[in-house]
A and B are shown apart, each in its own frame.
Chain A
Amino acid sequence: MRRADSLLSAPHGLSSRARKLPLIRDPSSLALIAFGVLCLAFPLLANAYLVGVAFNALVLIILAISWNLIGGVARQPSFGHAAFFGAGSYSAACLLLYAHQSYVVALIGAAIAGGLLAVPMSPSFRARGVYFAILTLALAETLDFIATQRFPGGVSGLTLPVVFRLTSDKGYYIALIITALAFATSALVARSHFGLSLRAIGADIGAAEASGVPTLLCRTNVLVVSGVLAGVAGALYSLQQTFIDPSIAFDPTWSILAILACVLGGVGTLSGPLVGAVAWSLLNWCVGRLPNPGAYTIVIYGAALTLLAIGLPTGILGAISRGLGLVRRLCGHSGTSQEGPFVDASATVPESIKEGQGIRG
């Protein structure tokens, strides 16, 4: 469907070779490939500390991709992703500590736990919009409370032996593989019929229901996928930190961070969560590097967030797309464009961005 779209809008002047390789003429794909190469080479370029920073950025990317599926594509703004994250952290830690499994099993276990948690969370879909947001937040907080009372370790948490720690480079590459898988999942969903249903739900749930989309089933399914991803993100985090307690694993900040990353990058777009999570991690790192970072770091975060939210309402990707559209229009007026007659400015905008705008309506 999307492939057909992009061929339809392909500029006339391009060679057949370029037409066979849609990646080459799509600037967003090029940027993605460049980013992938940078990620692969990162441990060679940076010291262990920076690799640790990048690891956390990858965890945030996974979490943001997870949130974007439910909150961005299907527009069900979950505020309870910390629950999935925490469930993943705890199940991974328990599998390592008590069942003495390898970290691979722990990661798989965390994925299953995150996915299963979606089942008791799914009745939240009875509530809509902002009520859904608050309900998921409340469920996550309740799980946090249960964790302090009943989970192994209680309030004081669990310490994993250092044996289990993902050493910096190895851990980084494991996280990178999982990030790539998460991104691929998100891309697959975007191209599938399922993704189309989700976008229909996101655009207008009543209309989707009326046109025969099984909205409850679709929303539950996407919550499961989202839960799996967030669970794995939590597991990665606990494997790197080697210590978790309920106030870390179920910190509502995880939900907030996931939302922040998506809103920063561009809600509902394919690469928005990626861009947003990287941008946020960079901001985080820059603020941390300021001389004697203290209380004013949080002031800077707050001011930056508010200014970005006001200045870039459609996220960084939305701003880029507007910029590209503007450039294209200027070029078109000055007659330097090589495009065919029916290619308008919006056709050159990366597909992922167009989608986001479509969802936003």
Chain B
Amino acid sequence: MEDLKVHASARAVSMVELAQTLVNGLSDASIYVMLAVGLSLIFGVMGVINFAQGDFMTLSAYVGYAVVTGFGVATGFALLVSVPALAAAGALFYFLVLRPTESYPADSRLLATFGVALFLEGIFQLVWTATPLAVHQSVGVVAVAGVRIPDSSMVDFGVAAVSISLLLLLLYQTSLGRSIRAASQDPVGAELIGIDTVRVKLYTTVVAISFTSIGGFMALTSSSLYPQLGFNLILTGFAVVIMGGLGSVIGVVIGSLLLGVVTELMSTYVASAYATVVPFVVIALVLFIRPSGLISQSVRYGGSDGGFGG
């Protein structure tokens, strides 16, 4: 009898542990999805792998930090400033980097975005130094049946869900979205039927960077802030996008959820060191089995073949 009780409670603990792991995984996934959806959009429409995507996320987090600490407002206000600021940065990025390199070979464009990534990282170090920063906030935790869910996780998850829904609405219910999908399926064809591809590319960049900036807000509320924060996540972003197939929003969502959960499972049940390698193993496995991503062509909004030559 005593034995049975111990056994039951051990099982309850392990169920709680599993649930806790899943919650943590979903929380990570909300940051991944905001980063990866930006990567995916820019690749889908312009064929550019944007190495600076993660650093735009960091920039957003630092802008948010400056707003919160400078004006002493609640963390939520960071979003109100950092998203418009990053949208402007995205437009600047398009006109200064992506547009002038339009006709260049893909590796030159990659180099240009890599340069932007380095540049931004340097700026972060100059302005905010390399010391990790964090906003001071009262961390609320909701406990559901023994599973601790931090407020920030719930906020992140909710914000991610709302953002992705908005993105899907934008892509599938507006004429801009239709243009974006057209441009990503066939840039020349889109231009031939009268779509202003310059405008579409500009808006795509702005939307992609804005979404990533929301990811920056999440990073601000749930972890500490350092110059390499975003760049360190870029491989995870690639892993997500690979799993989802470059150019698919739903694929990116599924990829983020899978990666977030698998990483946390690994860290809880195997060893936390092994969690870092999960994204790479995932990439290797997926691409060995399906060399052009997990999600089939028909689901993708863009028909780009993933070719490096843009």
Q: Does A126 contact B (CB under 8 A)?
A: yes
> Is A302 in contact with B122, judged by CB distance below 8 angstroms?
yes
Q: Does A200 contact B (CB under 8 A)?
A: no
Per the bound structure, the CA–CA distance linking A340 and B289 in Å amounts to 57
Most chain B CB within 10 A, of A126, A139, A298, A314, is at A298
The size bracket of the interface on B is 35 or more
Q: Give the shortest distance, in Å, between B263 (CB) and chain A (any CB).
A: 13
Q: In the complex, what residues of A have CB within 8 A of residue B125's CB? A: 295, 298
Q: Does B246 contact A (CB under 8 A)?
A: yes
Partner of B101, one of A124, A126, A260, A310: A310
Q: Does B117 contact A (CB under 8 A)?
A: yes
Partner of A309, one of B108, B130, B235, B309: B108
> Is B238 in contact with A306, judged by CB distance below 8 angstroms?
no
Q: In the complex, what residues of B have CB within 8 A of residue A260's CB? A: 111, 114
Per the bound structure, the CA–CA distance linking A18 and B255 in Å amounts to 63
Per the bound structure, the CA–CA distance linking A171 and B281 in Å amounts to 38
> Is B308 in contact with A129, judged by CB distance below 8 angstroms?
yes
- Which of B62-70, B143-151, B272-280, B295-303 forms contacts with chain A? B272-280
Q: Provide the B97-125 mask, 1 if CB < 8 A to any CB of A, else 0.
A: 10011011111111110111111111101
Per the bound structure, the CA–CA distance linking A304 and B112 in Å amounts to 9
| With contact pairs A145-B277, A297-B122 given, residues A127 and B104 touching in the complex (Cβ less than 8 Å) | no
> Is A313 in contact with B101, judged by CB distance below 8 angstroms?
yes
> Is B112 in contact with A305, judged by CB distance below 8 angstroms?
yes
> Is A127 in contact with B111, judged by CB distance below 8 angstroms?
no
Q: In the complex, what residues of A have CB within 8 A of residue B114's CB? A: 256, 260, 305
Q: Which of A111-134 contact B (CB under 8 A)?
A: 123-124, 126-134
| With contact pairs A134-B287, A141-B280 given, residues A267 and B122 touching in the complex (Cβ less than 8 Å) | no
Q: Does B126 contact A (CB under 8 A)?
A: yes
> Is B246 in contact with A130, judged by CB distance below 8 angstroms?
yes
Q: Does A177 contact B (CB under 8 A)?
A: no
Q: Does B265 contact A (CB under 8 A)?
A: no
| With contact pairs A260-B111, A263-B108, A302-B118 given, residues A133 and B284 touching in the complex (Cβ less than 8 Å) | no
| With contact pairs A299-B123, A305-B115 given, residues A135 and B284 touching in the complex (Cβ less than 8 Å) | yes
Q: Does A229 contact B (CB under 8 A)?
A: no
Q: Give the shortest distance, in Å, between A202 (CB) and chain B (any CB).
A: 10
> Is B107 in contact with A127, judged by CB distance below 8 angstroms?
no
Q: Give the shortest distance, in Å, between B59 (CB) and chain A (any CB).
A: 13
> Is A302 in contact with B101, judged by CB distance below 8 angstroms?
no
Per the bound structure, the CA–CA distance linking A323 and B175 in Å amounts to 45
> Is B118 in contact with A305, judged by CB distance below 8 angstroms?
yes
Besides the known contacts A256-B114, A305-B118, 16 further A-B residue pairs in the complex with CB atoms under 8 A apart: A75-B308, A75-B309, A126-B287, A130-B43, A132-B308, A137-B238, A138-B281, A145-B276, A149-B273, A260-B114, A295-B125, A301-B115, A301-B122, A302-B119, A305-B112, A309-B104
Q: Which residues of B contact A (CB under 8 A)?
A: 43, 49, 97, 100-101, 103-112, 114-123, 125-126, 129-130, 235, 238-239, 242, 246, 273, 276-277, 279-281, 283-284, 287-288, 291-293, 305-309
Q: Which residues of A contact B (CB under 8 A)?
A: 71, 75, 77, 123-124, 126-135, 137-139, 141-142, 145, 148-149, 256, 259-260, 263-264, 267, 294-310, 313-314, 360
Interface CB pairs A-B, < 8 A, 28 = A123-B288, A124-B287, A127-B292, A128-B292, A130-B43, A131-B291, A134-B242, A135-B283, A138-B239, A142-B277, A142-B284, A264-B111, A267-B107, A294-B126, A295-B129, A296-B126, A306-B97, A306-B116, A306-B119, A307-B115, A308-B111, A309-B109, A309-B112, A310-B97, A313-B101, A313-B104, A314-B105, A314-B108
